[in-house]
Homo-oligomer: A and B are copies of this chain.
């Protein structure tokens, strides 16, 4: 039976070249999932003469190299007699231990995890300790700052980035031909002990957009950029005028809404 399966995937992106297939043999999350699923179908259909075509896993978004996910949504069409639980168990058994299938269910044939995503929440996590202490258990998922940014300035700048804007200044792909207009619903900045988190919820994001926003907000927090300058930066539509792309390891896709 052919069904469309929806799954929730968590991964530690440290060792991967991001979600999406890359030219060559580079390790990607999508690639790992497809390899395991194709092998699963080959094992099932090996004797019954059915030809197994390589499967395509569609992800809600394409996280960059080194970016993590707590709940990426993906879907895949599979021709199998296996139950949902059998598929999930098979995948978890053969996937490396930095990728986990946390849910897997048959969904409507028309469900498309990318086109139907209504919003995504990303969290960027920073760490600052005046004494140079490190969060040893979370060290691969945070960006360590060498001084404390002024969160009030960052919050002020973040306000002007929310809403519908042309985010071309915050787009990592300089050859982007399609619209660079996106909607950010909320940017929440908070501190808890040595952790500083920037949580961004929006309808969709351009390449590197969250990381460029975070790099720009941090520059504002360090006093190197006027918190009132975001409007002009958006209007300029020039990537070179925004801040640096913040390091990938601090970024985690928290969830996808439908």
Contact = CB atoms under 8 A, between A and B. Distances in A.
Contact of A135 (B89, B100, B130, B131): B100
Contacts of A139: 12, 97-98
Contacts of A100: 133-136
Copies in the complex: 2
Given A10-B136, A68-B137, 6 more contacts: A88-B131, A88-B132, A97-B134, A98-B139, A100-B133, A100-B135
A158 interface: no
A98 B130 contact: no
Interface in A89-142: 89, 92-93, 97-102, 104, 129-139, 141
- Interface of A (DSSP majority class): mixed
Interface in A73-88: 85, 88
A169 to B, nearest CB: 32
A19 interface: no
Nearest to A144: B97
Given A68-B137, A137-B141, A139-B98, A93 B132 contact: yes
Nearest to A95: B134
A128 to B, nearest CB: 12
Nearest to A68: B137
A11 interface: yes
A250 to B, nearest CB: 13
